Chain A
């Protein structure tokens, strides 16, 4: 009998609970969740992690991760994370937030947390609208983009311009690692995973505030198939929100972490 040549290449990470998610088909929240679970498992940090869930589509994120979680009021996750991390400095604490939670109602909290250099990691899901409540305009909605509260398309004269949060937070001394990645194709997903790994390593080594902004799709509220939504992201979001590293503290050494 020949020896089995079977190799397991990939299976569902143990940090991702064995239950279906409520996210829409093709929504990249699931990809982000999966990557976070993979990274924390690879780092051996699952049991020591405490996540802070937002108000938004990911409000039930605590049902999908197999570790301790708390639920924050809308926008306040960075403050809750601060309270937890300052009390338990040796745990891994992260917030997971969407456009409204982080860049609208929570803008005060995220700027302050980054400025204070809180040793927390924030994963920011940017899909240019408020998904949970049915697709309203967000601080990340693009000029001309139609949403349920900008039905003629975002008019910058009356409704202002979108905010590039990663670039903005990168100006703060307390921010150690602030990058933007995207989840719209396999190559970018792989890059996103590396960035998440680096962000969590930055926290582990106490180097300061880390954030990974993840360009994401919202097929349902954009009115597209998941595959077309990814194309829309690439054509419309990437030019305004470029993938890149906006703040990388000198203290971060990539050879050690295996991230990028």
Chain B
């Protein structure tokens, strides 16, 4: 199975510069054009979360350190074909 990951984008810091959107190798990210952050920007969001590998490139290029990157299985999600584990 390919590496999986996810990111959290802090809307207080994101300035919608789109560098993460441009550089993400898996084209996971996009600006959320349906809403505005408190600062008046369209914050970045995971448009294709299933494609995220947790490579961290978005965080490397983010000028505002707005992105937290995780690898592994995001708690509360099930991947396709996976039987639920645990209680």
* A, B from the same assembly: yes
The answer to the question of A27 belonging to the interface, with a C-beta cut-off of 8 Å to chain B, is yes
A226 beta carbon closer than 8 Å to chain B? yes
Q: A25-B15, A226-B17, A227-B18 are in contact. Are A6 and B73 (CB under 8 A)?
A: yes
Check if A9 sits within 8 Å of B71, measured CB to CB. yes
Is B13 in contact with A186, judged by CB distance below 8 angstroms?
no
In chain A, positions 1-21 with a C-beta closer than 8 Å to chain B are 1-2, 4-13, 16, 20-21
Q: Distance (Å) between the CB of B53 and the closest chain A CB? A: 10
- Between A9, A29, A226, the greatest number of chain B beta carbons within 10 A of the residue's beta carbon is seen for A9
Interface centre among A5, A24, A26 (most CB of B within 10 A): A26
- A227 close to B65 (CB less than 8 A): no
CA of A6 to CA of B72, assembled, Å: 4
Instruction: Please count how many residues in chain B sit with their CB below 8 Å of the partner chain's CB atoms.
Output: 36
Judge if A57 is at the interface, Cβ distance under 8 Å.
no
A227, B22: Cβ atoms under 8 Å?
A: yes
Give the residue of A2, A10, A16 whose beta carbon is less than 8 angstroms from that of B85: A2
Is B61 within 8 A of A186, CB to CB?
yes
In the complex the two chains form, is A25's CB within 8 Å of B17's CB? yes
Q: A9-B56, A25-B16 are in contact. Are A31 and B63 (CB under 8 A)?
A: yes
B contact residues around A225 at 8 Å (CB) = 18
Question: In whole Å, how far is B41's beta carbon from the nearest beta carbon of chain A?
Answer: 7
> Complex: how many Å from CA A34 to CA B56?
14
Question: Which chain B residue has the least Cβ–Cβ distance from A21?
Answer: B64
Cα distance A195–B69 when bound, in Å?
24
Q: Is the CB of B59 within 8 A of A9?
A: yes
CB-based nearest B residue for A32: B63
Interface residues of B in 28-81 (CB under 8 A from A): 39, 41, 54, 56-57, 59-75
A6→B60 CA distance, assembly (Å): 19
A28 interface hit (Cβ, 8 Å): yes
8 Å CB contact of A12 from B17, B19, B65, B86: B65
Once the chains bind, are A13 and B65 in contact (CB under 8 Å)?
Answer: yes
Pair A5/B72 contact, Cβ less than 8 Å: yes
Complex Cα distance A25/B39, Å? 12
On whether the beta carbons of B64 and A30 are closer than 8 Å, the reply is yes
Question: Mask for A217-234, Cβ within 8 A of B = 1, else 0?
Answer: 001000001110010000
Contact partners of A5 in chain B: CB under 8 A: 71-73
Kindly provide the distance from the CB of A192 to the nearest chain B CB, expressed in whole angstroms.
Answer: 10
Assembled-state Cα–Cα distance A13/B75 (Å): 24
Instruction: List the A side residues contacting B19 at CB < 8 Å.
Output: 26, 226-227, 230
User: Is the C-beta of A23 less than 8 angstroms from some C-beta in chain B?
Assistant: yes
With A21-B64, A189-B61: A26-B15 Cβ-Cβ less than 8 Å: yes
- The answer to whether B65 and A34 touch across the interface, beta carbons within 8 angstroms, is yes
Contact present for A8 and B61 (CB under 8 Å)? no
| A236 contacts chain B at the CB level, 8 A cutoff | no
Q: Which residues from 57 to 85 on chain A have a C-beta closer than 8 Å to any C-beta of chain B? A: none
Q: Interface residues, chain B, CB within 8 Å of chain A?
A: 5, 10, 12-13, 15-19, 22-23, 39, 41, 54, 56-57, 59-75, 85-87
5 contacts between A and B (CB under 8 A): A1-B87, A6-B74, A9-B54, A20-B64, A31-B63
